[in-house]
């Protein structure tokens, strides 16, 4: 186990300047990045509700639904890859996906850029990406959103304080739960800063439901029904659980595993 850092490191090719983070904040809440002008990133990753939408699966344009639950955006900066199948290696790559997905926001990159230009975002992009001949691009849109998302960090939980040596930060019942968590083998998958989230495992109770998991990314049969291990940060606030939202409560999720 490791305490959650107070800040996430920004990559060298996407520094978290105040101007870039501010632009990303605006874009995260910008509904014009969806075809209907109704849906934003915040629709499925609600910043005021632990970064999730509390639905089994997300609802996008035209009330269309995909097969997967919306993971929390909080602390996503510490994940080794994004999406339940790990198909995006960075937050920058992840930010491009929902805007273009037919079942989510349903815009082409060109349409997204044109809408932002028409809305008057040009000066904000120029300030966030100084020195670039054409700062208002789809790649820079994704960079700005990612820079903002790296500020959505939730350090200082009782467990973090416990790890830092504040032994009374957890109740006796919580300490008993931690001991059981370790002795039962849960820690084999749910460890590190995020208490999971950086590896993959087979999840065969969903076999036959159509979503083949990581195999759709790798093309390997051994990755059929393999999904990213869910991180447990803020888990009490992010129901329903698993990639398909098939567990409505923590005790149900634990019984499935």
SS3 content of the chain, % helix, strand, coil (to 5): 45, 5, 50
Does residue 7 have an active-site annotation? Answer: no
Number of other CB atoms surrounding residue 17 within 10 Å: 16
Q: What does the alpha-carbon distance between residue 36 and residue 140 come to, in Å, rounded to a whole number?
A: 22
HSE, side-chain direction, 13 A CA sphere, residue 135: 16
State how far the alpha carbon of 207 is from the alpha carbons of 57, 83, 226, 231, 241, in Å.
17, 19, 10, 22, 17
Q: Kindly tell me the burial class for residue 217, based on how many C-beta atoms sit within 10 Å of its own C-beta (0-12, 13-18, 19 or more).
A: middle
Token pair, residue 113, equals 């850029």
Catalytic-labelled residue, pool 9, 104, 166, 172? 104
Quickly tell me which residue has 């044109």 as its tokens: 114
Number of other CB atoms surrounding residue 6 within 10 Å: 9
What lies within 8 Å, CB to CB, of 104 at 6+ separation is: 34, 39, 44, 58, 60, 61, 66, 97, 98
Active site residues: 104
């Amino acid at each position: 186990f490791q305490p959650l850092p107070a800040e996430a490191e920004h990559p060298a090719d996407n520094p978290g300047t105040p101007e870039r983070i501010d632009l990303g904040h605006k874009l995260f809440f910008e509904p014009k990045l969806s075809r209907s002008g109704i849906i934003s990133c915040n629709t499925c990753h609600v910043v005021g509700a632990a970064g999730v939408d509390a639905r089994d699966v997300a609802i996008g344009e035209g009330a269309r639904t995909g097969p997967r639950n919306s993971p929390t955006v909080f602390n996503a900066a510490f994940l080794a890859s994004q999406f339940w199948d790990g198909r995006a290696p960075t937050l920058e790559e992840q930010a491009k996906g929902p805007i273009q997905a037919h079942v989510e926001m349903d815009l082409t990159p060109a349409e997204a850029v044109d809408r932002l230009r028409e809305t008057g975002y040009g000066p904000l992009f120029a300030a966030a990406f100084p020195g670039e001949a054409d700062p208002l691009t789809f790649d820079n849109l994704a960079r700005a959103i990612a820079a903002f998302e790296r500020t959505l960090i939730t350090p200082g939980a009782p467990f973090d304080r416990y790890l830092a040596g504040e032994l009374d930060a957890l109740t006796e019942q919580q300490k008993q739960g931690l001991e059981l968590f370790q002795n039962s083998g849960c820690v084999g998958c749910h460890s590190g800063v995020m208490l999971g989230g950086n590896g993959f495992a087979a999840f065969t109770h969903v076999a036959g439901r159509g979503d083949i998991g990581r195999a759709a990314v790798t093309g390997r049969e051994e990755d059929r029904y393999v999904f990213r291990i869910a991180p447990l940060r803020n888990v009490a606030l992010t129901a329903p659980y698993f990639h398909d939202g098939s567990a409505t409560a923590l005790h149900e999720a634990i019984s499935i595993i």
